[in-house]
Amino acid sequence: MGRYKIFDGSLSVHCCFEATVVDTNKPTIIGGKHYKGIDGQYHYDAVCECFEMSDAKMICDALNALEPTHD
């Protein structure tokens, strides 16, 4: 389980983006609780939005590869 995840769709609600790479260390907090959208997905700070899911996967994998591992 990596720090960076792929949110299906656009957090900025732009129809041209297929996916958003998010930082799970930075949850969206509303009313003191982690915000969960009507789509059922928890929201986090966006790192970037991508036109293609394959680009989001590459970026997410690269960012997670930079994270230190805890043994």
pLDDT of 27 reads 96
| Beta strand spans in the chain (E) | 4-8, 19-27, 29-30, 33-34, 44-50
Q: Can you tell me which residue has the tokens 């986090």?
A: 44
Residue 24 lies in a domain: yes
Domain of residue 46 covers 4-66
If one counts the domains in the chain, the total is: 1
Residue 71: pLDDT over 60: no
Report if residue 14 sits inside a domain. Answer: yes
Helix (H, G, I), strand (E, B) or coil at 64: helix
Question: What mean pLDDT do residues 51-64 have?
Answer: 97
Q: What is the mean pLDDT of residues 36-46?
A: 90
Q: Is the residue at 42 inside a domain? A: yes
The answer as to whether 71 is a domain residue is: no
